Amino acid sequence: MMRRKIRPYAALLLGGLLATTSPLSAESRKTDSEQVSKLLSDAKSEALVLERDAEQLTAFTQSSVSWQSYADQLSQIRTHVNKVGSIIQQLNDLRVISSQWQKIAINRLTPLLNELADNTQQTITRLNANPDAVHSVSYRKYVSTHRELATDLASMIGSFVEYGRTKEKFDTLTRKLELPEGQQ
């Protein structure tokens, strides 16, 4: 399964969310949910583990490891995908208390995670259907796509977590300097 590139989102994310003329600027002043921010941090940690697992799976394509090694690695990956999925579900459940930027994060992370989960399942299905094909070009494409998706997910979550931390610092300084809202 091949997919489109989602790399330029980081610049758009930070640029769009920090711009004072953005339609988000009024809404983004709403208090961020600490619970949602914590879950995003948890998702970041889990996504980084998932990214390392995907890199290991990719390294397998450059070696002569057995299909059992692939199966073991894919089992770990599925566990981590499910953990991130559980966190994203919790985030969706907390939408009502999320600030605007946190809702945007949830909206963007959900489809990317779904795409990663689909690719993981397809990679497992292909392995189960033909274990001897793990060194084929087509299987390597699935593994490569999986790594790209895992990297994109970890990067996107990391960018949102960093945005949240930066926004919190900005809001703290705004209060400390007693700047009126809208004059930042």
Q: pTM to 2 decimals?
A: 0.81
In this structure, what token pair is assigned to residue 147?
A: 């790594």
Q: How far is CA 65 from CA 59, 72, 139, in A?
A: 10, 11, 14
**What is residue 23's predicted lDDT score, i.e. its pLDDT?**
41
> pLDDT: is 17 or 156 the higher one?
156
Of the two residues 4 and 95, the one the predictor is more confident about is 95
Mean pLDDT of the 7-19 span: 40
Report the pLDDT averaged over residues 47-71.
Answer: 95
CA-closest candidate to residue 184, choices 19, 35, 74: 19
Distance CA 17, CA 135 (A): 43
Mean pLDDT over 129-147 rounds to 93
What is the structure's pLDDT at 81? 97
Query: Is residue 4 scored above 70 in pLDDT?
Result: no
| pLDDT of 19 higher than 50 | no
pLDDT of residue 45: 98
Write the DSSP assignment of 147-167 as a string of letters.
HHHHHHHHHHHHHHHHHHHHH
Q: pLDDT band for position 111 (50/70/90)?
A: very high
Asked if the model's pLDDT at residue 147 lies above 70, the reply is yes
Mean pLDDT over the full length of the chain: 86
**pLDDT value for 184:** 53
pLDDT at 12: 38
pLDDT, mean of residues 124-142: 93
Q: How confident is the model at residue 183 (pLDDT cuts 50, 70, 90)?
A: low
Taking the domains of the chain in order of start, what are their residue ranges? 32-169
Query: What's the pLDDT band for 182 if we cut at 50, 70, 90?
Result: low
Domain range 32-169, CATH class: mainly alpha
Least confident of 2-16, 88-102, 147-161: 2-16
